[in-house]
Structure 1
Amino acid sequence: MPTEYSNYVGGEWTDARSGETFETRDPANPDEVVATYPQSDAADTETAIEAAVAASAEWGSTPGPERGRILSRTSALLAERKDELTDLLVREEGKTRSEAGGEVQRAIDIFDYYGAKASDLGGTVKSSSARNTNLYTENEPLGVAGLITPWNYPIAIPAWKIAPALAAGNAAVIKPASLAPGVVHEMATALEEAGLPDGVLNVVTGPGSEVGDTIASHPEVDAVSFTGSTAVGNTVYDTATDDGKRVQLEMGGKNPTVVSDSADVEEAADIVASGAFGVTGQACTACSRAIVYEDVYDEFVDAVVERAEAIEPGPGLDDPDMGPHVSESELESTVDYVGIGEDEGATLETGGAALDREGYFVEPAVFSDVEPDYRIAQEEIFGPVLSVIPVGGYEEALDVANGVEYGLSASIVTDDHTEANRFVDEAEAGVVKINEKTTGLELHVPFGGVKASSSETYREQGDAGLDFYTISKTVYDSY
């Protein structure tokens, strides 16, 4: 039987006022309904925001170590339920079990990290130019944070928004993506059991046009953190900044890996294939462009094609090499882009076809002979499609790497130390890696992009994750 979830508002589990619901289905078996959720509207969202407002002052005045203990207990509860959370994530989003288990562990680690960081929150002490004066700063919570999160990392991204928001003393309202909201509800359950006061976290499911727009526009929401597509993110930004909200956006990517002629080609193919085809290419940091020096181009194409053809897609619970797309529309979009690449004149070396089986499965695709201005080399595909672009050397590689509207993650595979250092300095990306895949993040350092990948306002994760949810007050204490 499908699990029936409710909204979590003011410490209570409630249905949408309309009584309407929607379903999630297993992408590997679309006939199977996984769970049902409230189809909430603006009025439901307003109630959740009111609950957050009512709880914000008391939570904001709660000592940081006490807040941290609740987050740490939440981490422990999530760890106890890791297997069931992993299975739920797989059944709604489609990741392989190994990928989903890694993501759940990331959420566990995030709550543990911010549980400890909550005790360190404070300001700085400065020496005053006046006698008999203490001069210092205090970091205060903003009030109410509105969080809008995507389906592709349905527990990790909510965790890295919720945990710092609560650690800093804010109340929050979160709208999880409708394709895979279950793990957010389970996270709210863990926070409730850990002792989080009523109203500090509120979970509302439903369409972005109702729930998301209300969060972005409501006058009592003080900050909005959004992760998703660039088109939607720009709309959220315009709406939220109309009344001066603090806004943080993390959006799309068209991430390159440069392969130098000094690189070990087999190692480079491993790095690129992992970044391109992991999580079915459904990551904002996925590698979608391999920019390869001509001297090793043919050898690299052969090597990465071999890796793509070795991948066997299957249901995530079976822990295959690659899971399905999350939905039929995502699968259709990937297949459409494969057709666009062929029409543009690129050579489809392998893959790109939907599998003739139940579920939203596709073969990983590799294109060669791709020109930098082709749509498949410019637009975010969000599927396991790799464009391999030949270049004459470093200068051309850099131009191609930077020649897109996005700037999230970029990597270079090289044994040339000068090339590596130049790429760090010259790549237009918020995350730059040397001899590593474009995907994969440490939780204690900042994450974010540039150009159309980000609002370029505040970073997420680490200490930077706390900066977004606090504001500094300067105190002059004369005695």
Structure 2
Amino acid sequence: MSDRIFDDSKFDAAYDQALDSPKHDFPSKINGENVASGIEDLLVSPVDDTIIFGRLQDPVPGTMKKAAEDAARAFEMWSKSSPEERSRILSAVADSIEKRLYRLAADVVLSTGMVRKDAFAEAETCLEVVRQASKDAMNVKGKPRGVWGIIALESSPLASVIGYSAAAIAAGNTVVMMPSGHCPRPVYAVFDLFEQAGLPDGVLNLVCDRTDRFATELSDDENVAGVVASGCGKAMDDMIFLAVDDTLGYINEVKGMNPIVVSQPGDIKKAADSIIDSAFQNNGKGLYATSKVIVSADDDRELTKAIVERLKDLNVNDPGEKECQMGPLMNKEEEKRLTGLLDSEAAYVVMGGKRVKKEYTENGLYYTPILLTSVDPDDDIQYVDSGLPILVIKQAAGADAILQELDQTDCGLSVGVISSDSKLISKIKEFADEENLQVFVNTSSRSLKAASKARAENFTV
């Protein structure tokens, strides 16, 4: 991992540059051409909706098919390219990303509402994965599959979509990538770096869809040999069934609840800090953001009290501000879902869900995070992730009940445990191994990184 120390002054300078950058269109990028559709959506910042980036050219039926067909034609050439050429191009892209880390981080903040240090970590992870891909290109074993569809939405708006694309390209595949249509600006910036590095036309193609309605058109295309699904939301739910298709390469990075088990934590306040640090990454959308805590009966009351006290001081604000700990919702659709859940779960709301009115928040959808307890046992909110800043606390009596609760939960990518009980920790680790989950112990999930499977070997047969 990098030993870079985040520099607030460099970020501030990059943020000012990002704010001053000119507006432009965001068309599909297919086989070296800009493909406009005439169907335009205004692209604005969730930080402040008076900040306008330009217009997104929404795809039309057939756009994704054309991208896959052109990628398939490019595969005939690129699959025969030398390891040296692939490595050289990816190394040049990594060099360019490294020079622009703070600017890319600023773009991530403005495009998503992610806080500055998390946005920098996102850009840094992107760099690390592309750099690794340039090394992997020299030692690829196996044959490339063909065209990969990389569908990576808001949970990791830069590192996953670029990182998986780079790993696929390193193995000799071609790519159609589909980042979120709500926050594509950082991806477009890096796409330009691939072009500048000399990547041949058609090897990397970019199609953005504001409503994610064309995700299945990409995954189901006859020219697509593999799919990466990264993020949360309905489009990701539709991808789950791809895992049973033996003819299709599939990499799963779909967000779940990333639950944390708490029993005999020792320092209850430290446990609360780790939970909050895990829960509200990228406003609850982060790939490893926790939306459920399973706590032993003996620790439930004190842990809930400690979490409430910490949440009272959580700084929800403009994420460009240095001390901000959580930014805005991404869009009106998220706000509608959040307010709807507030109504339906009103009986279980301990705190949160209040609109934040501060000097720099009036033009964004800023809400305090929501804490739920004593939820009805049949309520899906405690088993299925919402992708919102909502944390559910569920009590469980004993290790067997904890494991049963985990088994009923859509864990997604990880499970955490905060405990001084070595036997319980071992049981959680065994559960994680059986379910192919990453595990974090007595810390937050922040140590886990996006694009964890972005290695060239995972894109070959």
Alignment TM class, shorter chain as reference:
0.7 to 0.9
Match of 1:180 in 2: 183
Matches within 5 A, 1:344-363: 346=348, 348-356=349-357, 357-363=362-368
Shift of 1:373: 3.7
Match of 1:77 in 2: 96
1:247 aligns with 2:250: yes
| Alpha-carbon distance in structure 2 between the residues aligned to 1:247 and 1:442 | 19
Shift of 1:237: 6.0
Match of 2:25 in 1: 4
| Alpha-carbon distance in structure 1 between the residues aligned to 2:137 and 2:187 | 21
Whichever residue aligns with residue 431 of structure 2, its letter is E
Number of paired residues?
A: 433
Matches within 5 A, 1:75-224: 75-122=94-141, 139-206=142-209, 211-224=214-227
1:326 aligns with 2:327: no
- Tell me the percent identity: 25
SS in 2 for 1:287: coil
Q: Is the 8 A contact 2:254 2:412 kept in 1?
A: no
| Alpha-carbon distance in structure 2 between the residues aligned to 1:401 and 1:255 | 10
Shift of 1:315: 1.5
| Alpha-carbon distance in structure 2 between the residues aligned to 1:28 and 1:365 | 20
| Alpha-carbon distance in structure 1 between the residues aligned to 2:376 and 2:217 | 42
Shift of 1:317: 1.7
Q: Deviations over 1:207-243 (max 9, x none)?
A: 5676434322322222222224464345446689889
| Alpha-carbon distance in structure 2 between the residues aligned to 1:433 and 1:325 | 27
1:63 aligns with 2:63: no
| Alpha-carbon distance in structure 2 between the residues aligned to 1:399 and 1:239 | 27
1:306 aligns with 2:309: yes
Q: Deviations over 1:111-149 (max 9, x none)?
A: 011111111212xxxxxxxxxxxxxxxx11111112222
Match of 1:475 in 2: none
Q: Deviations over 1:225-280 (max 9, x none)?
A: 22244643454466898894333343241221111124321221111010112221
Q: Is the 8 A contact 2:47 2:364 kept in 1?
A: yes
Q: 1:376 to 1:239 in 2, by over 3 A?
A: closer
Per residue, is there more strand in 1 or in 2?
A: 1
Whichever residue aligns with residue 435 of structure 1, its letter is N
Of 406, 420, 439, 1:432 maps to 439
Q: Is the 8 A contact 2:232 2:387 kept in 1?
A: no
Structure having the higher Rg: 1
Q: Is the 8 A contact 2:27 2:58 kept in 1?
A: no
Matches within 5 A, 1:38-57: 38-57=57-76
Match of 1:450 in 2: none
Q: Is the 8 A contact 1:266 1:300 kept in 2?
A: yes
Q: Alpha carbon RMSD of aligned pairs, Å?
A: 2.4
Matches within 5 A, 1:263-282: 263-282=266-285
Of residues 368-377 and 160-169 in structure 1, the stretch that sits farther from structure 2 once superposed is 368-377
Q: Is the 8 A contact 1:175 1:211 kept in 2?
A: no
Q: Deviations over 1:352-382 (max 9, x none)?
A: 2233433111101222334554333123221
SS in 2 for 1:151: coil
| Alpha-carbon distance in structure 2 between the residues aligned to 1:83 and 1:438 | 23
Match of 1:375 in 2: 380
Q: Is the 8 A contact 1:340 1:375 kept in 2?
A: no
Q: Is the 8 A contact 2:137 2:456 kept in 1?
A: no
Of residues 99-108 and 202-211 in structure 1, the stretch that sits farther from structure 2 once superposed is 202-211
Q: 1:210 to 1:378 in 2, by over 3 A?
A: closer
SS in 1 for 2:62: helix
Match of 1:469 in 2: 459
Whichever residue aligns with residue 222 of structure 1, its letter is A
**What stretches of structure 2 of length at least 5 have no aligned partner?**
1-21
Q: 1:176 to 1:469 in 2, by over 3 A?
A: same
Whichever residue aligns with residue 412 of structure 1, its letter is V
SS in 2 for 1:255: coil
Q: 1:288 to 1:213 in 2, by over 3 A?
A: closer
SS in 2 for 1:42: coil
| Alpha-carbon distance in structure 2 between the residues aligned to 1:68 and 1:421 | 41
| Alpha-carbon distance in structure 2 between the residues aligned to 1:64 and 1:438 | 35
